Amino acid sequence: MEKKIRVRFAPSPTGGLHLGGVRTALYNFLFAKQHGGDFILRIEDTDQSRYVPGAEEYINESLKWCGLEPDESPLKGGPLGPYRQSERKSIYREYADQLVKSGKAYYAFDSPEELETMRSKYRTADNPSPQYDRRTREHMRNTLSLTFEETERLMAGNTAHVIRIKMPDKEIVYLQDMIRGEVIFDTSLLDDKVLLKADGMPTYHLAVVVDDYLMKITHAFRGEEWLPSAPVHVLLWRYLFGEDLMPEWAHFPLILKPDGNGKLSKRDSARLGIPIFAMDWKDPATGQTITGFRESGFLPQAFVNMLAVLGWNDGTEQELYSLDDLVDKFSIDRVHKAGARFNYEKAKWFNHEWIKRFSTHALVPFVKKVFEENNLRVANDASLIPVISLIRDRCSLLGDFYIQGKFFFTAPQQWDLNAIRSKWNGQKADFFKEYIEILDKIPEWNAASLESAFKAIAAEKNIKAGELQLPLRIMLVGEKSGPPVFEIAAILGSAETIKRIRSLINSGSLQ
RNA sequence: GCCGCGUUGGUCAAGGGGUUAAGACGCAUCCCUUUCACGGAUGAAUCACGGGUUCGAUUCCCGUACGCGGUACCA
């Protein structure tokens, strides 16, 4: 009997969830579901100074919006909780102490000032960031450098201290990564990372290992920025639980800025005017809002789809996947090794494709919401149906439905007269007066009959129908582009169409 | 600096010892459309560079360059 697959997404509640985070969650989710396993959400809130109110709720809601709901989480609970590290504080100390007892870790009493002193003392051009490691620890205040009596005295006096891992002198740590293969580290180049902070909270390094063990995690997936500290985690597994119980690792490539260098950050959002977060995030400290994909008019399916293929593909030409398709097709070993630059144009293309995939009916609630956000009340949903089916192919973002469709519900506020004024004349005015009369008693109100009546009068008056279509469009829409005019008139209905034609003719603006 | 991970068109990428080096986004042109879009068609890369190995390398090996990440009592 195989062990049940269990994976976790473990964000820090320090702000909005950005693209990379959602993708990490997505890949974890897909892997779990594909193997009939569990997807766990664990909140890594061990840094109390970085606590941001609302961030955890934001994470919950973002995952929900994306359809990536965890099987176990702080909100939902579960057998191996609590799922918030701040609530597990008492657990970690025991493991840290165990490491000290076995000689794999030690107490260090250095203050932040002392650490800074050490760093500036050893800092050179060749070594810009001196580490607390096998070379320097002898000069610091810790169990290894102090006498037994000195440490006893410090401990008895409740001196603030941390617990640091004692990095072995010369050992090779092998890490088997599902994406990158074997990665090798030399421990003599690594530093003595803090495991337990002075406030009693664990650092990430201790917490992941202990929690992954306690929560029976079988596969640990995270962003590539964690690769350099992976050997610390391997060592901790070896010391605490044995490497045979260690989860399999995979480090996902980073998502890079659309332009320039570096990984995508929330600052790019305002700078480039593109969403970075799943949903709008209002920073409680600054009051500033960073825009999200949801509010930018993305369908969650499109957002997830776009994210999935940013760094992964199944080897075929397929690009459009539902979440179910992804559960079926996703595979870790086809995840790219190199970072991928985020491309907003392509993201919009995905949304467009998904809008086309949705049925008109399914689009109604989204469109209705967009209209309402623009203070346009829609009396009944049914009136939206013909509008949506007419304009859906020209919409990439949900907001486009408002831009492309608002004139169906509200007469143009202004007309683009420059487009027609130069060619306007009394003859054309006469044409429209006559057309209105015909429209008033046209037997069948549909695009085809509206068009044939239009052409018949045009022929009769010897005017090119093409020259009359633009004026008609301006009358109905106000602008010179949009869906076919007669289709528009068909939806607008007799009374409204006549009213709009008359409105411009009688306005005197074309004289 | 040191350590780790990368490097196929502007971007996402398939491929992998012998190919006309897929496809998508974007761009350009054309067709469709008496509007604008949608849609359709066409066009643009010798695979970072230098050495090997080989009959033959974009594909394997080694260097170099470049990019990214890490180097916190942050995750």
What is the H or E stretch that residue A180 is in? none
The nucleotides of chain B lying under 7 Å from a protein CB are: 1-8, 10-15, 22-26, 33-38, 67-75
With a cut of 70, say whether residue A1 has pLDDT above it.
Answer: no
Instruction: Indicate yes or no: strand B within 7 A of the C-beta of A47.
Output: yes
Instruction: Indicate yes or no: strand B within 7 A of the C-beta of A268.
Output: no
What is the H or E stretch that residue A1 is in? none
Sign of torsion over alpha carbons A72, A78, A80, A85: positive
Residue A81 banded pLDDT, cuts 50, 70, 90: confident
Instruction: Indicate yes or no: strand B within 7 A of the C-beta of A331.
Output: no
- Output the pLDDT for position A218: 98
CA–C1' distance A364–B18 (Å)?
A: 56
> Residue ranges of the domains in chain A?
87-252, 417-507
Nucleotide nearest to A225 (CA to C1'): B69
- Output the pLDDT for position A510: 75
Contact call for residues A281 and A16 (beta carbons, < 8 A): yes
What is the H or E stretch that residue A347 is in? helix A344-357
CA–CA separation, A406 and A277 (whole Å): 28
> Would you call A199 helix, strand, or coil by DSSP?
coil
* Composition of chain A by helix, strand, coil, percent to 5: 50, 10, 40
CA–C1' distance A312–B62 (Å)?
A: 30
User: In this predicted structure, which of A24-33, A261-270, A288-297, A303-312 has the lowest mean pLDDT?
Assistant: A261-270
The number of beta carbons lying within 10 Å of the beta carbon of residue A365 is 11
What average pLDDT does this structure show over A283-303?
Answer: 95
Nucleotide nearest to A455 (CA to C1'): B34
Instruction: Indicate yes or no: strand B within 7 A of the C-beta of A12.
Output: yes
Instruction: Indicate yes or no: strand B within 7 A of the C-beta of A112.
Output: yes
Domains A87-252 and A417-507 fall in the same CATH topology: no
Instruction: Indicate yes or no: strand B within 7 A of the C-beta of A116.
Output: no
Residue A306 banded pLDDT, cuts 50, 70, 90: very high
CA–C1' distance A338–B46 (Å)?
A: 22
With a cut of 70, say whether residue A4 has pLDDT above it.
Answer: yes
Instruction: Indicate yes or no: strand B within 7 A of the C-beta of A80.
Output: no
Encoding tokens for residue A67? 């359809």
What average pLDDT does this structure show over A278-299?
Answer: 95
Which of A76, A89, A216, A266 is catalytic? The answer is A266
What average pLDDT does this structure show over A300-307?
Answer: 97
Instruction: Indicate yes or no: strand B within 7 A of the C-beta of A245.
Output: no
CA–CA separation, A153 and A150 (whole Å): 5
Nucleotide nearest to A477 (CA to C1'): B35
Residues 465-484 of A with CB under 7 A from strand B: 465-466, 469-470, 473, 480-484
What is the H or E stretch that residue A223 is in? strand A219-223
Write the pLDDT tens digit of every residue in A370-404: 999 999 988 899 999 999 999 999 999 999 999 99
What average pLDDT does this structure show over A6-33?
Answer: 97
Residue A196 banded pLDDT, cuts 50, 70, 90: very high
Contact call for residues A25 and A7 (beta carbons, < 8 A): no
What average pLDDT does this structure show over A42-60?
Answer: 95
Nucleotide nearest to A487 (CA to C1'): B35
Respond yes or no: is residue A266 known to be catalytic: yes
CA–C1' distance A394–B37 (Å)?
A: 5
Write the pLDDT tens digit of every residue in A451-487: 999 999 999 999 998 889 999 999 999 999 999 999 9
CA–CA separation, A471 and A453 (whole Å): 16
- Output the pLDDT for position A379: 84
Encoding tokens for residue A91? 């657990």
DSSP code per residue over A34-62: HTT-EEEE-B----GGG--TTHHHHHHHH
Instruction: Indicate yes or no: strand B within 7 A of the C-beta of A103.
Output: no
CATH class of A87-252: alpha beta
What average pLDDT does this structure show over A59-75?
Answer: 98
What average pLDDT does this structure show over A73-88?
Answer: 96
Residue A165 banded pLDDT, cuts 50, 70, 90: very high
Write the pLDDT tens digit of every residue in A111-141: 999 999 999 999 999 999 999 999 999 999 9
Residues 341-370 of A with CB under 7 A from strand B: 341, 343, 345-346, 348-349
Nearest alpha-carbon partner for A187 in A267, A240, A106, A133: A133
How many Å separate Cα A511 from the centre of its chain? 53
Long-range contacts of A254-260 (CB under 8 A, 24+ apart): A254/A20, A254/A223, A254/A224, A254/A225, A254/A339, A255/A19, A255/A20, A255/A23, A255/A310, A255/A311, A255/A339, A255/A340, A255/A341, A255/A342, A256/A339, A256/A340, A256/A341, A256/A342, A257/A341, A257/A342, A258/A341, A258/A342, A258/A343, A258/A344
Given 3.90.1150.10, 1.10.10.10, 1.10.240.10, 1.10.10.350, which CATH number is that of A417-507?
A: 1.10.10.350
- What average pLDDT does the structure give for chain A? 95
Write the pLDDT tens digit of every residue in A393-451: 999 999 999 999 999 999 998 999 988 888 898 999 999 999 999 999 999 999 999 99
- Output the pLDDT for position A262: 87
With a cut of 80, say whether residue A511 has pLDDT above it.
Answer: no
